[in-house]
Amino acid sequence: MMSYAAIREKMNRGHLVVLDGAIGTEILRRNVTWADHQLLSQPALVRSIHTDYIRAGADVISTNSFQLCRRAIESHFRDPAHRHHIGPRDIEERPNRLLAASVELAREARDSVAGKRPVAVAAAVTTLEWCFRPDLAPVAESAAAEYAEILETVQKAGADLVLLETVNSITEARIAAEQARRIGLPIWVAFVCDEQGALFTGETLEEAARTLEPLGVDAILLNCAPPDDIAAGLERLLPHTSLPVGAYPHIGRFDPPEWLFTNEYPPGRYRTVLAKWRERGARILGGCCGTTPDHIAAIASLS
């Protein structure tokens, strides 16, 4: 928490806070599949990506835990009996073991290269169902219980804060924020927006800010959309909140189940785009899918 206190102070003073870039697509870019997050099979690879982002200038590194939760694993089976019948014997313990490992690897990376520079570890958590499909969201009671389990696990593992990212609805953001507040874990909420800067539910970012501000959320961000969509969202978010605002777009295209890399936004152009957002008031900048340590180094040069 000491590291996050320094980051929070920097953010609240209006200084630029640099978030890291993509992890899943960076694993792919290094010619390894992301299918099982590589947390147990190739921990050195995951750790090396974290260290590369710290060396690039990231103030906050996010864990390699996107869509890593009990629901995501158990949904592959018909029901609990089927899971027990054909699944591995350790599957009940696997979600929380992997979540804890994701935090531990990020902490190890920070301890190995950050030195005296404050670097916070953010547990990356997303929607319980597919992040681009708000219609699939579980009912509120189930969501609250599932977020409670996830957040308690990453807190126990030593995460400094939670980065709830690629959120598609106000309801799910509120439920997760309430669970974070209940256990005293700082939270940033990052929404995914469409071309008009609205949530996929049709809700507005003004409504989102109005809902989240009383819940003690530390920052509201936009992520996992192309730069033009993020820019549209920032135009609608910045005038309506006093909270720190951030952004980390994706570059390239989603090519299920993985990622298509393109050359539209090399680091220099990426820096130019995000510099404009900084001028408009964004305090947290980083990268989502397709970005690399070079992109983060380019952002860090804006400080």
> Given this model, what pLDDT does residue 35 score?
63
Confidence of residue 278 (pLDDT cuts 50, 70, 90): very high
Contact predicate 268/298, CB 8 Å: yes
Distances (CA, A) of 10 to 221, 251, 271: 16, 27, 21
CA distance 187 to 181: 8
Beta bridge partners of 161: 122
> Given this model, what pLDDT does residue 256 score?
85
Six-digit token string for 94 = 């696997």
**Res. 146: pLDDT tops 70:** yes
Confidence of residue 81 (pLDDT cuts 50, 70, 90): confident
Each residue's pLDDT tens digit, 25-71? 999 999 887 666 888 889 999 999 999 999 999 999 999 999 888 88
Of 23-32, 72-81, 149-158, least confident by mean pLDDT is: 72-81
Q: How crowded is residue 139: how many other Cβ atoms within 10 Å of its Cβ?
A: 7
Of the spans 74-83, 130-139, 274-283, which averages the highest pLDDT?
A: 274-283
Calculate Rg over the CA atoms of the chain. 18
> Given this model, what pLDDT does residue 34 score?
66
> Given this model, what pLDDT does residue 92 score?
80
- Domain ranges within the chain, ordered by starting residue: 2-300
Each residue's pLDDT tens digit, 257-270? 788 899 999 999 99
Each residue's pLDDT tens digit, 184-240? 999 999 999 999 999 999 999 999 999 999 999 999 999 999 999 999 999 999 999
Confidence of residue 107 (pLDDT cuts 50, 70, 90): very high
**Res. 1: pLDDT tops 70:** no
User: Is residue 215 packed enough to be buried (19+ CB in 10 Å), middle (13-18) or exposed (0-12)?
Assistant: middle
Superfamily name with CATH number, domain 2-300: Homocysteine-binding-like domain (3.20.20.330)
